[in-house]
């Protein structure tokens, strides 16, 4: 690009110095100045409807270099806050520091503006793909508007800076939709394709198909071949450390390098983390450090909380969780790798000494800038540093205590032994424990997001005993007939829940199944299930006559 600016620098902020894997990036030595020159009339237009996607002209000045472009307010839930965030797109042919898109985040709700920058640096220290971020001082028409986070835009520039294929396809999760379901719900919007739009969406549809409808063995093989699984597992660990929340609303990204047929996840909106020091709370309120680590999975208690909250606002709302996250927690080998990464992070970049050292270095940069921020709450700012330190200490203690429970995932005595799809389909349960089990109150479903499920007859299973339930869709034939069928051509899912367990409000649980099984399209005369009674390895066998 050519514009009204100095020559392109060889080292942009997106290539921050990292000494080695596991080290935090060096804290920037200075805070660049960004000026937005917007006419009074255009500013009034933005303020007239802050939620509008309409843009107005702007001249952006970065450290004395200027370029024309378009600007609007940005953010899903922050546009009506006092301190606005901005999205700037420079006119064609112009760039500043080799960039033509800028995401300027005000982070008004974060008392010390530490959370998202620390999260980005933590993910970087863990070797994860994440947009870079730096602090900048923003002014509007010469009037200081505060300290901002300049977050790297995920677009063609991002592909270049992060060594990804130039022609990779970037997909952005839809609104309230980062669950990787086959189709968005009525309360959600679909994925948005940001690059290579003309090539269609067949690649995304193929990804969603095998994530949702594949046997476990096939799923693990495709995951290893087609997804940067190490990065994704690491991202889930990063989410655990910062207590990332509302991930389904984050509008994060999936990037497909088409020549490699390889997908990479790029997180967004890390300021959703529970570790945030909310300026809308009392300044001395303590941090919340007990968010369960299996975020956005079918094993996350927050699924229940959000469902009970949102179903009243949106009656069509369904329980919110990621199919991929759930399947990762279900598979012992993948779960073990995730837990190993968590332990490495707790002893490495998220150790109390290393995390606090980096937070202190950030604080030395941020604190004097925040005192000049016209929107600062000095009362909150006085407690920010200790708040974050307390969060790190108590979050570490909580996660260390949770490790044994995470390792025991899926170790219960009652399991789905096998499923058969088609006209003579069935679901077989098995008691792999050493004591008899009552099925009273237990429920089966072929839709893991269903809030109404089929209640099983009050049978008792002795140790080693099986119970076969016929999936013919006709309960009039007897108590062991299910009200649903299982598709042999498409594959599906089966979940077993304990309906005796209720939430704190007395509502049946929509998360935490006793067991769940995914299966792909079924070849004729085959059964899918555990290869040994109660074992964790799954496969297909010929169906007995």
Task: Tell me the two tokens of residue 540.
Answer: 């297909």
pLDDT of residue 311: 92
β 492-498/143-151 pair status? unpaired
Can you name the residues that pair with 33 across neighbouring β-strands?
A: 137
Residue 318 clears pLDDT 80, i.e. is over it? yes
Alpha-carbon distance of 481 to 498, in angstroms, equals 19
CA-based radius of gyration for the chain: 25
CA distances from 417 to 196, 413, 532 (A): 44, 11, 9
pLDDT at 56 over 80: yes
Which residue has 């001082």 as its token pair?
137
Could you tell me if 279 and 387 are in contact, meaning their C-beta atoms sit under 8 angstroms apart?
Answer: no
Summarised one tens digit per residue, pLDDT across range 356-373 is: 999 999 999 999 999 999
pTM: 0.94
pLDDT for res 246:
87
What are the pLDDT digits (tens) for 447-501? 999 999 999 999 999 999 999 999 999 999 999 999 999 999 999 999 999 999 9
User: Does residue 5 carry a pLDDT above 60?
Assistant: no
Q: DSSP of 204-220, one letter per residue?
A: HHHHHHHHHS--HHHHH
**What pLDDT was estimated at residue 257?**
98
Range name among 37-46, 307-316, 507-516 with the lowest pLDDT average: 307-316
Per-chain mean pLDDT for the chain: 94
Instruction: State how beta strands 492-498 and 538-542 pair.
Output: unpaired
- Closest by CA to 206, choosing from 226, 179, 176, 233, is 226
The Cα–Cα gap between 160 and 152 comes to 12
User: What percentage of residues in the chain have a pLDDT greater than 70?
Assistant: 96
Pairing label, strands 33-37, 101-105? unpaired
Residue count of the chain? 545
Residue pair 480/470 in contact (Cβ under 8 Å)? The answer is: yes
* Intra-chain end-to-end CA distance of the chain, in Å: 69
Output the pLDDT for position 1. 34
Measured from the Cβ of residue 227, the count of other Cβ atoms closer than 10 Å reads: 19
Residue 21 pLDDT: 63
Per-residue pLDDT tens for 238-273?
999 999 998 888 999 999 999 999 999 999 999 999
Provide the pLDDT for residue 7: 31
What tens digit of pLDDT does each residue of 150-195 get?
999 999 999 999 999 999 999 999 998 999 999 998 889 999 999 9
Q: Is the pLDDT of residue 51 over 70?
A: yes
* Mean pLDDT, residues 512-518 taken together: 98
Whether 18 has a pLDDT exceeding 60, the answer reads: no
CA distance 320 to 187: 11
**Residue 545 binned pLDDT confidence (cut-offs 50, 70, 90):** confident
Mean pLDDT of 46-72: 97
> Bridge-partner residues for 124, per DSSP?
none
pLDDT at 47: 96
Cβ atoms of 522 and 516 within 8 Å: the answer is: no
Asked whether residue 72 carries a pLDDT value surpassing 70, the answer given is yes
Secondary element (H or E) of residue 466: strand 466-470
Three-state secondary-structure class, residue 422:
coil
The answer to whether 441 touches 498, Cβ cutoff 8 Å, is: yes
pLDDT (mean) for 523-545: 94
pLDDT at 343 over 70: yes
Q: DSSP 3-state helix, strand, coil percentages of the chain (rounded to 5)? A: 30, 25, 45
Yes or no: say if 69 and 47 are a contact pair by the CB < 8 Å rule.
Answer: no
């Amino acid at each position: 690009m050519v514009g009204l600016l100095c020559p392109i620098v060889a080292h942009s902020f997106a290539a921050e110095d990292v000494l080695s894997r596991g080290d935090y990036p060096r804290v920037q030595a200075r805070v660049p100045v960004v000026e937005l020159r917007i006419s009074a009339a255009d500013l009034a237009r933005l303020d007239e409807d802050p939620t509008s996607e309409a843009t107005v002209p702007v001249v952006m000045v970065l450290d004395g270099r200027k370029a024309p472009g378009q600007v609007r307010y940005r953010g899903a839930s922050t546009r009506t806050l006092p301190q606005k965030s901005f999205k700037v797109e420079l006119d064609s042919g112009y760039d500043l520091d080799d960039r033509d898109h800028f995401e300027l985040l005000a982070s008004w709700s974060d008392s010390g503006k530490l959370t998202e920058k620390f999260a980005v640096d933590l993910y970087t220290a863990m070797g994860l793909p994440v947009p870079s971020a730096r602090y900048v001082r923003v002014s509007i028409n010469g009037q200081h508007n505060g300290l901002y986070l300049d977050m790297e835009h995920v677009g063609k520039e991002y592909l270049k800076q992060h060594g990804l294929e130039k022609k990779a396809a970037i997909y952005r999760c839809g609104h309230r939709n980062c669950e990787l379901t086959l189709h968005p719900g009525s309360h959600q919007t679909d994925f948005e394709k940001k690059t290579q739009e003309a090539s269609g969406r067949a690649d995304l549809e193929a990804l969603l198909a095998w994530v949702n409808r594949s046997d476990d063995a096939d799923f693990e093989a495709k995951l290893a071949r087609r997804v940067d699984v190490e990065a994704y597992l690491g991202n889930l660990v990063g989410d655990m450390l910062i207590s990332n929340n509302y991930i389904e609303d984050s509008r994060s990204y999936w990037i497909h390098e088409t020549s490699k047929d390889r997908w990479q996840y790029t997180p967004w909106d890390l300021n959703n983390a529970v570790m945030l020091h909310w300026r809308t709370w009392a300044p001395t309120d303590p941090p919340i450090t007990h968010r369960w680590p299996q975020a956005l999975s079918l094993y996350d208690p927050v699924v229940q909380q959000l469902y009970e909250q949102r179903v009243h606002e949106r009656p069509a709302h369904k329980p919110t969780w990621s199919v991929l996250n759930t399947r990762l927690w279900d598979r012992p080998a993948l779960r073990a790798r995730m837990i190993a990464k968590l332990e490495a992070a707790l002893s490495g970049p998220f150790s109390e000494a290393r995390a606090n050292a980096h937070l202190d270095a950030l604080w030395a940069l941020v604190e004097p800038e925040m005192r000049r921020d016209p929107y600062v709450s000095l009362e909150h700012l006085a407690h920010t540093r200790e708040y974050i330190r307390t969060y790190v200490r108590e979050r570490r203690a909580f996660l260390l205590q949770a490790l044994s429970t995470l390792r025991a995932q899926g170790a219960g005595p009652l399991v789905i032994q096998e499923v058969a799809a088609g006209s003579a389909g069935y679901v077989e349960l098995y008691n792999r424990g050493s004591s008899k089990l009552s099925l009273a109150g237990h429920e089966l479903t072929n839709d893991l997001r269903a809030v109404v499920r089929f209640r099983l007859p009050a049978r008792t299973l002795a140790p080693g005993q099986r119970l076969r339930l016929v999936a013919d869709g006709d309960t009039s034939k007897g108590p062991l007939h299910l009200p649903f069928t299982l598709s042999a051509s498409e594959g599906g899912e089966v979940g077993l829940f304990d309906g005796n367990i209720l939430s704190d409000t007395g509502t049946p649980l929509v998360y935490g199944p006793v067991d769940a099984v995914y299966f792909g399209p079924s070849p004729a005369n085959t059964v899918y299930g555990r290869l040994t009674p109660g074992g964790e390895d799954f496969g297909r066998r010929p169906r007995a006559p």
